[in-house]
Structures are given as C-alpha cells and as structure tokens.
Amino acid sequence: MNLKERLKKDIVICAEGYLFELERRGYLKAGAFVPEVVLDYPEAVKELHIEFLRAGSDVVVAFTYYAHRDKLRVINRESDLEPMNRQALKIARETAITCNALVAGNICNTWVYDHKDREKTSKLVRSMYEEQVRWAKEEGADFIIAETLFFLGEALIALEVIKSFDMEAVIMLAPFHEKMRDGYSWVEACKILEDKGADVTGLNCAMGPETMTPMLRDIRKSVKSYVAALPVPYCTTHNTPTFLQFKNSDGSKAFPVHLEHFLMNRSETADFAITARDLGINFIGLCCGGAPHYIRSMAEALGRTVPAGKYSPDLTQHAMLGSGDVVKSHNINALSDWNPEI
Ligand SMILES: [Zn+2]
C-alpha cells in the first residue's frame, strides 16, 4: 500500500527527531546539524531506524534532513552531497523492508529562500530540491516529506518539485512565528498547499502539543484531505509557545542543546496521540526531541501492538512499587523509610 492507501485505512505513525537524538548519542554536531553520521557511522542511523520501527513507526524517514547543498557547503563537504543522500536512502530502504514500512525521502527548509528576493532564491531552492528528490526517487523512496518550512513560497517550490517527479507529498510547516515569514496564516498556507495538490499538509517542529493543538484544530476544520502533526515533545506554553523561547536559569537560551529540562513525559506524548486522533489528524508523530520510548507510548495509546511493547513498563513487578506477591515484606515501607515525605 502506498501512503494514501494506508491513510485511508488508519492513522500513519511517523517517528522523527533524528538530528537531536543522534546528536545526544554523540554522532552529530549541534550547530550546523548536518547528518554526517550517514557516511561516518551508518550503523548508528540504522540502529535508530530499527528502534523507531520497533516502537511503532509506520515510516522510515531517510536521514537527509539538512543534507542539502547549502548546508554541506557550510561544513566543507559539498562533494559528499550525493553519496550522503543516496546512502541515507539506502539505509532507510534496507531497514524499512524488514517491517513493511514506508520509506520517506526528506527535504526541508533551505535557509536560502528569501521572499524579498524571490526570483533569484527560488531558482536556487528549486535546484537544491530537484537533486534531492531525484536521488530519493531513484533510491526507491515511497513518498517525500518536505518539512520545517516557514515560507509558503518555499513550501510551494517543494510541492511543485515533488509533484514533477510524480510522487506523494507530505508538506509540513514549522510554526516558529505567529504567521509564515511571507505573511500567510498557517491555516491559509495549508489550504493553499492542499489546493495545489499536497497529499498531506500540516505542522511539525517548533511547538509542543499544548501550543500546537489549537492550530491543528483550525487546520483540520479548513483542510479536507489528510493532516499531519509532528510537534516537539517539549512543554511549550502560552508564554513560551515554541521551544526557541525556553531559557536556562541564568537567562540564556536553552535551544538547541539545553532543552532536556523542558521535555514532556511519555504519558503526555501518549495523550497527545489520542488528542490528535480525536481531532481527526491522520499522520502523527514527533519531531526534534522525539525518541523511541515516546513513539512506543503513542503507538500503544493508539491501540497498536508493537515489537518494543514486550518491554513496556510493568510496575507490578517492581520491588518497592509492585503488587503484593512481588514486594517482600521488608521492602514494603522502603520508599517511606528513605524519605518520609513520599
Ligand atoms: Zn524538529
């Protein structure tokens, strides 16, 4: 089944968050955030794909996020552009095939597009997308995700390029600001993308569930086709609507490497999966900060039985918190002995 056939039958779960997770694991440098790991430690990428699949993801997203010409230039590895893309797609396909999962090719915001210099920058962006989408198609991707876009102009180029290769397109916008950088509201932009032929539109990155959910509700009301929601698993609020606004205790910016303090717990991400399902969202997952335990909790909340579920928590077997026949009599008061406040 292709993506739309799967969406017609059920929600599609899509795990993301590769950049942050592989940075935490010591395989990727924060800053440029280029997925050099694909060439330098391919087994680390494969392992994370496997972990996400075991946790319940229906999609393996080829790790080509920021593997575009402009970023590769920043780290002086432009000659590795094509090998990096092809290798990422090969790893994704090899892994997906073991679980009948879909492979998504992946393109994203370029940092090149400028709506005030549209003619010149559009050409550059188009050529960057064309090479990446061509490699994705040649390496057997099932569909393309274009994501973290905050200019409608750039999102439309992504959509046109994907459609020129006759592929299904998931276009996700990143609500880092109140409106898109070229002035459109997020709802308006999703509607335009739908009208222009996007198979799935929606939001990813920037916001946690609390601040993204009201926007998703509005998008769901105005878009007829499939809607995507991949928030970040951080406790964003009215006062800190995106994870860019979080501050460390000394007032400095927590983004992007001091965000742990603001993470949600796994039950909260599971609650989001339910909320999204009840809103009628079709393509559900997490972006930066996402990790396998979150995806498992979301998949299980949606009623899925997943391979990693074999090791889902069972506190009845815990030596202090467990059921009567497990907790030995001398351990019954172990927690309160340690700290009378508990
Ligand atoms: Zn993200």
Round to whole Å and give the CA distance between 320 and 306: 28
Q: For position 33, what pLDDT does the model report?
A: 96
How far is the centre of ligand 1, averaged over its atoms, from the C-alpha of 258 (Å)?
15
Query: pTM of the predicted model, to two decimals?
Result: 0.96
Distance CA 225, CA 228 (A): 10
CA distances in angstroms from 238 to 41, 211, 242, 247, 323, listed in the order given: 40, 7, 9, 15, 40
232 contacts 289 by C-beta, under 8 angstroms: yes
* Cα 230 to ligand 1 centre (Å): 8
CA of 232 to the centre of ligand 1 (A): 6
* d(CA 66, ligand 1 centre) in Å: 11
d(CA 75, CA 78): 8
CA of 294 to the centre of ligand 1 (A): 15
Spacing, Cα 207 to ligand 1 middle (Å)? 9
Query: From ligand 1's centre to the CA of 252, what distance in Å?
Result: 21
Task: Tell me the CA–centroid distance for residue 336 and ligand 1, in Å.
Answer: 41
Question: How many Å apart are CA 200 and CA 243, to the nearest integer?
Answer: 24
What is the chain's percent helix, strand, coil content, to nearest 5? 45, 15, 40
| Contact between residue 45 and residue 63 where contact means Cβ atoms under 8 Å apart | yes
**Positive or negative: CA dihedral 14, 256, 266, 270:** negative
In the chain, beta strands by DSSP E = 12-15, 59-61, 102-108, 143-149, 168-173, 200-204, 226-230, 283-286
User: How confident is the model at residue 342, as a pLDDT?
Assistant: 53
- Is-contact 52 293, C-beta < 8 A? no
Gap from CA of 301 to ligand 1 centroid (Å)? 22
Ranges for all domains in the chain classified under CATH 3.20.20.330: 3-311
Instruction: Give CA–CA dist 186/23, Å, rounded.
Output: 30
286 Cα to the center of ligand 1, angstroms: 8
The low-confidence residues of the chain, meaning pLDDT below 70, are: 338-342
Ligand 1 centroid–CA 173 distance in Å is 10
| Placement of tokens 């009301």 in the chain | 221
Q: Distance from the CA of 149 to the center of ligand 1, in angstroms?
A: 11
Instruction: Please state, in angstroms and rounded to a whole number, the distance separating the CA atoms of residues 190 and 222.
Output: 9
CATH homologous superfamily, domain 3-311: Homocysteine-binding-like domain (3.20.20.330)
- The whole-number pLDDT of residue 340 equals 58
How many angstroms is it from 319 CA to the middle of ligand 1? 38
Please list the residues that pair with 227 across neighbouring strands: 201
State the distance from the centre of ligand 1 to the C-alpha of 228, rounded, in angstroms.
Answer: 14
Q: pLDDT (tens digit, 9 = 90+) per residue, 44-94?
A: 999 999 999 999 999 999 999 999 999 999 999 999 999 999 999 999 999
Give the Å distance between the CA of 338 and the centre of ligand 1. Answer: 40
- Report the distance separating Cα 45 and Cα 37, nearest Å: 7
Distance from the CA of 18 to the center of ligand 1, in angstroms? 9
pLDDT value for 341: 62
CA of 176 to the centre of ligand 1 (A): 11
Tell me phi and psi for residue 283, to 5 degrees: -125, 105
172 alpha carbon to ligand 1 midpoint, in Å? 11
Name the average pLDDT for the chain: 96
Residue 282 burial (CB count, 10 A):
21
C-alpha of residue 205 to centroid of ligand 1, in Å: 4
> Which CA distances in Å does 327 have to 13, 313, 319, 338, 339?
37, 17, 5, 16, 18
* Distance in Å, CA 316 to ligand 1 centroid: 36
Say what the pLDDT of residue 333 is: 83
CB contact at 8 A, 228 and 172: yes
**SS3 for 199-268, per residue?**
CEEEEECCCCHHHHHHHHHHHHHHCCCEEEEECCCECCCCCCCCCCCCECCCCCECCCCCCHHHECCHHH
Q: Residue 247 pairs with which residues in a beta bridge?
A: 253
